[in-house]
């Protein structure tokens, strides 16, 4: 399955409540999916950089436990994109479910 296509939406969702650093984003997605979605650095960081280029998120540095970390937060544009993408995802997921349920009956 192509899970990479859902990563931008998952990142925007994860950042919708508060800023986070990359490791926390990946850890939260993995925890909330009960371990099913486990995105590695090679997938996560290019997606974060792409979202930053699109100005959907912005990065800043902060010191945590004596270590500088790069945090990400939603921009206003990113919040609007998240709301729209979420609605599109829900329509898509519902349509797929209808097709698959029809296939099994």
In the chain, domain spans: 4-104
CATH class of 4-104: mainly alpha
| CA geometry: angle 20, 90, 59, nearest 5 deg | 20
What tokens were used for 79? 């919040």
| CA geometry: angle 99, 83, 48, nearest 5 deg | 100
Beta bridge partners of 59: 72
Angle in degrees, 0-180, between the axes of helices 41-53 and 7-15, rounded to the nearest 10: 70
Per-residue pLDDT of the chain (105 residues; tens, 9 = 90+): 445 578 999 999 999 999 999 999 999 999 999 999 998 888 999 999 999 999 999 999 999 889 999 999 999 999 999 999 999 999 998 999 999 998 665
Taking residue 7's Cβ as centre, other Cβ atoms within 10 Å add up to 21
pTM of the model: 0.87
pLDDT of residue 40: 85
CA atoms of 105 and 36, how far apart (whole Å): 27
pLDDT of residue 10: 96
């Amino acid at each position: 399955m192509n899970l990479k296509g859902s990563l931008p939406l998952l990142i925007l969702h994860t950042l919708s409540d508060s800023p986070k650093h990359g490791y926390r984003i990946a850890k939260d997605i993995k925890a909330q999916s009960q371990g099913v979605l486990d995105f590695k650095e090679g997938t996560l960081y290019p997606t974060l950089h792409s979202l930053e280029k699109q100005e959907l998120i912005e990065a800043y540095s902060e010191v945590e436990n004596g270590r500088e970390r790069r945090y990400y937060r939603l921009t206003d544009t990113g919040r609007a994109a998240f709301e729209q993408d979420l609605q599109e995802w829900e329509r898509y997921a519902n349509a797929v479910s209808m097709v698959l349920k029809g296939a099994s009956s």
